[in-house]
């Protein structure tokens, strides 16, 4: 009904002025590209840290299986997004080296070598360590051939009733074209022969993803779905002799080819591209050892792949499905768990009080998942939707959950006659389909939906509430590092700020005008916005600390650090004697500890129960004049600084500055789940001395604060 109300904004993007240092004391050119590390290999090294955790015998066995599933997801996404970019460059004859001086073809060779070593390690962990340990606690994955008669009868019954009706064997011969293999699907290649003529033929069967990958049989025993199918192929080929059966899995290009300038309706264009993505260009085929050579040749030929794109494994394919094992109801085999607690400032007795009244008393810093997302952010939007004094709500949505209470609140607000604007980023990778559905639902409810800015992804996490309070209109704002997603808020570590600071709320209002209309991006008093000013501001703040020499200090917590300009600025500050400590979860192209370049830089990576997702930047010491603390959505990567709308907000209240500084120091002291980046570009796990877990400490502190509040009269 309101579908055509959705808009796409064409941005008038100014070219940011280059940041000029007051002086340059370091000849960076002398170090050449060697001063950087490979972005792609750095991402794969994060995978190595995940495997370290899967191999950590001090962790419960299902937690270790969870890290195998996360690793499998990461490798799949890496091929779908990063490898395809390099393949495209090679196909186009691009010879331009990356920032670390390596050309695309060599990057692909380096990636293959590292992926192979990681997958071999994964195989050994799964087959030799995890599966035997699971069996010892009555979660045994058994072969169909090894089940007893009663179990086999149960499996055959399940196959005939639930599996067989779903299966569709597709012949592969000159009369039947090679079937389209959808992205990340698990498939069985079957060779059958005619007993009368001896003629051999090939067929393909897709293992249905709609059925559970693991089928329970007996007590504490499980059979893989593909094993069940492969053991009952005679049902599918009556009258034929069944020969070999081999598994394979194809990874395809998941990048969308979307010409926003030419699209009359971005939503419709994106829906078309999503349908195409299931059958995009093949990038990798995974097979198990021993596949019939003739079918492998056919597979490689039909998928138009080089043999170097074939990855052979001994473990089950598609280990993403280890999430199914993690879902087994055995809490004693998982981590200690955590139930987020209501932020004390929002409590009124034993329930959440008036959020707006609490914000008027002073800015509120939220730390998820230790503090409840539902009792803070979702309650902020819910109270705004139900409050008769609220006249408008504006919100960005990048990734949200399938049963999003925030979307429900926005719909309710629109139905109450409030002015509601939702900027839904349709191009949020792998969440495009979900965002399309939310956009339609919001539009149908009368919400004005904006699809974002042509050429940019809107990645900032901002919500604005406009409320009439007597003779004045007050604006309230939430700015965060994490998405408006109740599911990830239980597993991702993030910060958020609730404020009614006039300058900040005015800035956010101007930002929404830019995002939804044709206004030029203006100058903001407080917030720092990319792609216009984040790089410039960060480099300026680094330069200020550089000019202070050994009295300077830079502390940064981010998901990725790849931007050459920022890295070079950090090198200059290091050579001026500035203490620099970087907490980087995944990608880091900076090389610490290089003589004459980065002796004063140390890089840590914490990988634990919760995914470290916050972005916090601290410049100087609390007692310094000009001590600066920023928090928000921007990583220090080219995509965030040049191709995304990001927001950093200054934290100016001394108590909240100390809280963010304390959180950084707690994270830095972790010696339980921390890796340190070496000069040789290798990450090494920190040897634990104090068995100090930052995430456990955050839990303890929040619980203690909650108990203290409960004792107050």
Residue spans in the chain of domains classed CATH 3.30.1840.10: 49-194+202-238+281-335
- Is there a contact between 169 and 203 (Cβ–Cβ < 8 Å)? yes
- Is there a contact between 429 and 441 (Cβ–Cβ < 8 Å)? no
The count of other CB atoms within 10 Å of the CB of residue 663 is 22
Kindly report the backbone phi and psi dihedral angles of residue 17, in degrees, each rounded to the nearest multiple of 5, phi listed first: -70, 140
The string of pLDDT tens digits covering residues 256-294 is 444 444 444 444 544 444 454 444 688 899 999 888 888
DSSP state of 452: E
Q: 574 by DSSP, 3-state: which?
A: helix
> What span, in angstroms and rounded, lies between the C-alpha atoms of 678 and 28?
20
The vertex-602 CA angle with 601 and 603, nearest 5°, equals: 125
Q: 241 by DSSP, 3-state: which?
A: strand
Residue with tokens 């009369």, as numbered in its chain: 175
CA-wise closest residue to 442 among 469, 482, 470, 413: 413
Structure tokens at 627: 């001590």
> What span, in angstroms and rounded, lies between the C-alpha atoms of 29 and 420?
52
| Burial bucket for residue 134 (CB in 10 Å: 0-12, 13-18, 19+) | buried
> What span, in angstroms and rounded, lies between the C-alpha atoms of 472 and 483?
31
Cα first-last separation, the chain: 53
> What span, in angstroms and rounded, lies between the C-alpha atoms of 541 and 631?
14
- Rounded to whole angstroms, what are the CA distances from 272 to 80, 264, 455? 18, 13, 19
Residue with tokens 């067929």, as numbered in its chain: 203
Catalytic residues: 459
Q: 15 by DSSP, 3-state: which?
A: coil
Structure tokens at 364: 């509120």
Residues 6 or more apart whose Cβ sits within 8 Å of residue 711: none
Residues 6 or more apart whose Cβ sits within 8 Å of residue 4: none
> What span, in angstroms and rounded, lies between the C-alpha atoms of 54 and 52?
5
- Rounded to whole angstroms, what are the CA distances from 73 to 50, 70, 184, 596, 661? 11, 5, 11, 39, 33
Structure tokens at 410: 């926005």
Cα-only R_g, the chain: 27
- Is there a contact between 169 and 237 (Cβ–Cβ < 8 Å)? yes
- CA 523 distance to own-chain centroid: 31
The pTM for the full model equals: 0.90
- Rounded to whole angstroms, what are the CA distances from 666 to 380, 619, 697? 28, 17, 8
pLDDT of res. 253:
83
> What span, in angstroms and rounded, lies between the C-alpha atoms of 66 and 125?
13
Q: What is the dihedral of CA 420, 497, 13, 273, to 10 degrees?
A: -60
User: Which parts of the chain sit beneath pLDDT 70?
Assistant: 1-25, 173-177, 255-280, 400-402, 426-435, 518-521, 709-713
> What span, in angstroms and rounded, lies between the C-alpha atoms of 85 and 104?
9
Pairing of the two strands 170-172 and 200-206? antiparallel
- Is there a contact between 450 and 423 (Cβ–Cβ < 8 Å)? yes
Pairing of the two strands 448-453 and 7-9? parallel
> What span, in angstroms and rounded, lies between the C-alpha atoms of 83 and 283?
8
> What span, in angstroms and rounded, lies between the C-alpha atoms of 540 and 29?
21
| Burial bucket for residue 707 (CB in 10 Å: 0-12, 13-18, 19+) | exposed
> What span, in angstroms and rounded, lies between the C-alpha atoms of 647 and 651?
13
CATH superfamily to which 49-194+202-238+281-335 belongs: Polyphosphate kinase middle domain (3.30.1840.10)
pLDDT of res. 113:
96
Residues 6 or more apart whose Cβ sits within 8 Å of residue 405: 374, 378, 381, 382, 486
- Is there a contact between 174 and 202 (Cβ–Cβ < 8 Å)? no
> What span, in angstroms and rounded, lies between the C-alpha atoms of 360 and 111?
52
- Rounded to whole angstroms, what are the CA distances from 645 to 15, 85, 141, 456, 467? 14, 22, 47, 7, 26
- Give 262-265 contacts, CB < 8 A, sequence gap 24+: 263/8
pLDDT of res. 401:
61
Longest dimension (CA), the chain: 93
Residue spans in the chain of domains classed CATH 3.30.870.10: 3-11+339-516, 528-710
Half-sphere exposure of 494 (CA within 13 A, CB side): 25
Q: Per-residue DSSP letters for 641-658?
A: HHSEEEEEEE---HHHHH
> What span, in angstroms and rounded, lies between the C-alpha atoms of 629 and 635?
15
- CA 533 distance to own-chain centroid: 24
DSSP state of 235: G
Q: What is the dihedral of CA 384, 387, 389, 392, to 10 degrees?
A: 30
> What span, in angstroms and rounded, lies between the C-alpha atoms of 29 and 572?
12
User: Which fold is adopted by the domain 528-710?
Assistant: Endonuclease; Chain A (3.30.870)
The domain made up of 3-11+339-516 is a member of CATH 3.30.870.10: yes
pLDDT of res. 336:
85
Residues 6 or more apart whose Cβ sits within 8 Å of residue 187: 181, 204, 205, 206, 207, 247, 248, 249, 250
> What span, in angstroms and rounded, lies between the C-alpha atoms of 617 and 621?
12
DSSP state of 79: I
Q: CA 692, 695, 696, 701 torsion: positive or negative?
A: positive
3-state secondary structure 537-579: HHHHHHHHHHHCHHHCEEEEEEEEECCHHHHHHHHHHHHCCCE
pLDDT of res. 2:
35
CA-wise closest residue to 463 among 353, 532, 373, 338: 373
pLDDT of res. 608:
95
Structure tokens at 659: 């809280």
């Amino acid at each position: 009904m309101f579908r055509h109300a959705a808009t796409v904004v064409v941005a008038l993007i100014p070219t940011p002025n280059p940041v000029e240092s007051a002086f340059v004391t370091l000849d960076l050119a002398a170090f050449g590209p060697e001063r950087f590390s490979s972005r792609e290999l750095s991402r794969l090294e994060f995978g190595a840290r995940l495997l370290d955790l899967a191999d950590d015998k001090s962790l419960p066995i299902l937690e270790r299986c969870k890290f195998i599933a996360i690793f499998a997801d990461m490798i799949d996404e890496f091929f779908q997004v990063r490898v395809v970019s390099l393949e495209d460059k090679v196909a186009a004859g691009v010879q331009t080296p990356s920032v670390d001086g390596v050309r695309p073809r060599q990057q692909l060779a380096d990636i293959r070598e590292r992926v192979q070593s990681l997958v071999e390690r994964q195989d050994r962990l799964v087959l030799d360590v995890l599966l035997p340990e699971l069996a010892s606690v009555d979660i045994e994955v058994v072969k169909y051939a090894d089940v007893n008669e009663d179990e086999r009868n149960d499996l055959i019954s399940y196959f005939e009733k639930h599996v067989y009706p779903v299966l569709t064997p597709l012949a592969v011969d000159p009369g039947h074209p090679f079937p389209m293999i959808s992205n990340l699907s698990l498939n069985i290649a079957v060779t059958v022969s005619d007993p009368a003529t001896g003629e051999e033929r090939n067929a393909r069967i897709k293992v249905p993803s709609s059925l559970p990958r693991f089928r329970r049989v007996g007590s504490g025993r499980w059979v893989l779905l593909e094993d069940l199918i492969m053991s009952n192929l005679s049902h599918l080929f009556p009258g034929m002799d069944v020969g070999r059966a081999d598994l394979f899995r194809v990874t395809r290009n998941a990048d969308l080819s979307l010409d926003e300038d030419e699209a009359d309706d971005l939503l419709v264009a994106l829906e078309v591209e999503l349908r195409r993505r299931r059958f995009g260009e093949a990038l990798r085929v995974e097979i198990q050892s021993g596949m019939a050579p003739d079918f492998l040749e056919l597979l490689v030929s039909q998928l138009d792949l080089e043999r170097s794109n074939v990855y052979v494994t001994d473990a089950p394919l598609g280990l993403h499905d280890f999430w199914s094992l993690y879902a087994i109801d055995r809490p004693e085999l998982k981590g200690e768990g955590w139930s987020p607690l209501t932020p004390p400032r929002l409590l009124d007795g034993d329930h959440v009080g008036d959020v707006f009244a609490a914000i008027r008393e002073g800015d509120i810093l939220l730390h998820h998942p230790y503090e409840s997302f539902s009792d803070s952010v979702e309650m902020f939007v819910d109270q705004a939707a139900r409050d008769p004094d609220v006249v408008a709500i504006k919100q960005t949505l990048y990734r949200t959950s399938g049963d999003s209470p925030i979307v429900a609140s926005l719909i309710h607000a629109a139905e109450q006659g409030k002015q509601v604007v939702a900027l839904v980023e349709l191009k949020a990778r792998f969440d495009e389909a979900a965002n399309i559905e939310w956009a339609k639902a919001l539009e149908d409810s009368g919400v004005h939906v904006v699809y974002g800015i042509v050429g940019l992804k809107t990645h900032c996490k901002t919500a604005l509430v406009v409320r009439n309070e007597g003779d004045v209109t007050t604006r309230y704002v939430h700015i965060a590092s994490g998405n408006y997603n109740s599911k990830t808020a239980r597993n991702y570590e993030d910060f958020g700020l609730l404020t009614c600071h006039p300058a900040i709320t005015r800035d956010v209002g101007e930002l929404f005008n830019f995002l939804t209309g044709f206004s030029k991006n203006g100058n903001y008093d407080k917030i720092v916005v990319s792609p216009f000013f984040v790089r410039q501001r960060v480099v300026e703040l680094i330069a200020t600390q550089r000019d202070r020499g050994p009295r300077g200090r830079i502390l940064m917590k981010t998901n990725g650090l790849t931007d050459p300009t920022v890295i070079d600025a950090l090198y200059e500050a290091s050579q001026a004697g500035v203490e620099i400590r970087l907490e980087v979860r995944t990608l880091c192209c900076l090389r610490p500890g290089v003589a004459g370049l980065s002796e004063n830089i140390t890089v840590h990576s914490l990988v634990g129960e919760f995914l470290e997702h916050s972005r916090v930047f601290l410049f100087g010491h609390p007692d310094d004049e000009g001590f600066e603390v920023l928090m928000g959505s921007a990583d220090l990567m080219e995509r965030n600084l040049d191709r995304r709308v990001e927001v950093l907000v200054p934290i100016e209240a001394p108590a909240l500055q100390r809280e963010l500084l304390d959180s950084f120091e707690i994270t830095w002291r972790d010696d339980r789940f921390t890796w340190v980046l070496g000069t040789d570009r290798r990450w090494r796990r920190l040897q634990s001395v104090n068995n100090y877990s930052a995430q456990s400490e955050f839990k303890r502190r929040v619980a203690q604060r909650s108990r203290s509040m409960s004792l107050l009269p």
